[in-house]
Chains A and B, each alone.
Chain A
């Protein structure tokens, strides 16, 4: 089975802190994604990557950046955390062919105080 592991299940940070959310997948998937999940809004794409060192903006990239130095690892970075970034963050991966289903991690619930 595909395993997508997010390093933290719960995280509490202060406003202005730099925050790193880590995601690792073990199936040699080309594509990796970061989504944000908020009640009533569903999941919204922040960034995705289709190869090492490649990244593309999603629908809500403002206030975030990403890093993909190795194929299995995709990091989401909040340069200066703000309270409106309090949310559930979900990482996903899939192989690079069309119609490939996404495999998700268990999510990181981030609270910014």
Chain B
């Protein structure tokens, strides 16, 4: 079974600063995919970034980047130059390479950007 752990229920960061959200996972699979989703107060889940496990290079999307450590089963999200619009719940999620495209989610981290 796959489990995803987010150990920080809540975090805050000053506007324009950098923050890192942590995520660890447990799996016996060798090939898989990892995702970070953002859920603002509007409740719409938005894909932030994704990483293929077979790729060693860390994924980057504008101000968002990940630190993927496969051996340690760690997948942290770094948000640079934090903006007020980054205030949201952030969910880390795991997808197996085989089978249906089901996502296994962590419990989420509530991030507040302080002006």
| Chain A residues with a Cβ under 8 A of chain B | 31, 33, 35, 40-45, 48, 50, 56, 58, 88, 90, 92, 94, 96, 98-102, 104, 106-107
Q: In whole Å, how far is A101's beta carbon from the nearest beta carbon of chain B?
A: 5
- Which residue of the partner chain, among B9, B35, B42, B102, contacts A101 with CB atoms under 8 Å? B35
Query: Total A-B pairs in contact (CB under 8 Å)?
Result: 55
Chain B residues touching A, range? 20 to 34
B contact residues vs A (CB 8 Å cutoff): 4, 6, 9, 33, 35, 37, 42-45, 47, 50, 52, 91, 95, 97-98, 100-103, 105-108
B102 touches which one: A41, A42, A48, A107 (CB < 8 A)?
Answer: A48
Interface centre among B4, B43, B103, B106 (most CB of A within 10 A): B43
Do A40 and B43 touch (CB < 8 A)? Answer: no
Which A residue's beta carbon lies closest to that of B106?
A: A42
Distance of A20 Cα from B35 Cα, bound (Å): 30
In the assembled complex, 20 residue pairs joining A and B whose CB atoms fall closer than 8 Å, in A order, are: A31-B100, A35-B105, A40-B9, A40-B107, A41-B107, A42-B107, A43-B103, A43-B105, A45-B102, A45-B103, A48-B102, A90-B45, A98-B33, A98-B97, A99-B52, A99-B101, A101-B50, A102-B101, A104-B37, A104-B44
In the assembled complex, the CB of B103 is this many whole angstroms from the nearest CB of chain A, namely 6
